[in-house]
């Protein structure tokens, strides 16, 4: 499986587009499964990698999550807003793959990341919060902060670079390409 060939979605989808895709998935449309894969595989992989920190395990969790989603959708599933639902499935499977130490390991990593974020300058904390907690697009975050898009991108880059340096060894690594 080559993540390089998967198309990343071109931004956020409208609620109508999400509902239409969910409906097609519930109806068993195989092209809808392909669209689901192409639209979300990268985000699901990154989410899985964040928890398991192993490329191969993250790939397995991602594929298992997509298959689980396909199965759950055949029994109903969400009517719209697929991404939060899919991320929940990935989270469940990633925690299960970690075994009994799963919740403790996730909690420890989360604590490390939060402690490092709190050490960032206020503007850098804010850009990371807007982008990764609130889920704003680059443009939305730039507007919220009253910055130009290039200025926001630069601020986010500095924040992520500083955050990587603040995290314990191995915790700030980029997910490897895999799927």
Residue 47's CB: how many other CB atoms inside 10 A?
A: 24
Q: Say which residue, 1 or 75, is predicted with more confidence.
A: 75
**pLDDT one-digit tens code per residue, 102-160:** 556 656 666 787 888 889 999 999 998 888 777 778 888 899 899 999 999 999 889 98
- Residue 115 and residue 78 share a domain: no
Estimate to the nearest angstrom the gap between the alpha carbon of 75 and the chain centroid. 25
Dihedral class, residue 12 (left if φ above 0, else alpha if ψ from -120 to 50, else beta)? beta
Tell me the pLDDT band of 179, cut-offs 50, 70 and 90.
Answer: low
Residue holding tokens 């130490």?
101
Domain boundary pick from 73, 97, 121: 97
Q: Give the residue from 156, 117, 12 showing the smallest Cα distance to 148.
A: 156
* pTM of structure: 0.52
Q: Would 35 be classed as within a structural domain? A: yes
Q: What is the CATH number of the domain that holds 30?
A: 1.10.1740.10
**pLDDT one-digit tens code per residue, 61-105:** 998 888 888 888 877 777 667 888 898 899 888 888 876 455 566
> How much is the pLDDT for 147?
94
Q: How far apart are CA 99 and CA 55, in angstroms?
A: 17
């Amino acid at each position: 499986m080559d993540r390089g060939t998967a198309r990343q979605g071109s931004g956020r989808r409208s609620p109508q587009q999400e509902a239409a895709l969910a409906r097609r998935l519930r109806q068993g449309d195989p092209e809808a499964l392909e669209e689901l894969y192409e639209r979300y595989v990268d985000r699901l992989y990154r989410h899985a990698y964040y928890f398991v920190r192993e490329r191969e395990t993250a790939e397995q969790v991602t594929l298992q999550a997509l298959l689980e989603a396909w199965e759950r959708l055949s029994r109903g599933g969400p009517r719209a807003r697929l991404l939060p639902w899919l991320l929940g499935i990935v989270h469940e499977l990633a925690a299960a793959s970690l075994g009994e130490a799963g919740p403790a390991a996730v909690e420890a990593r989360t604590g490390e990341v939060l402690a490092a974020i709190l050490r960032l300058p206020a503007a850098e904390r804010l850009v990371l919060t807007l982008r990764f907690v609130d889920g704003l697009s680059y443009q939305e975050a730039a507007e919220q902060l009253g910055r130009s898009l290039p200025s926001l991108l630069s601020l986010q880059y500095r924040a992520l670079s500083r955050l990587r340096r603040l995290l314990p060894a191995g915790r700030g690594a980029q997910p490897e390409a895999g799927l």
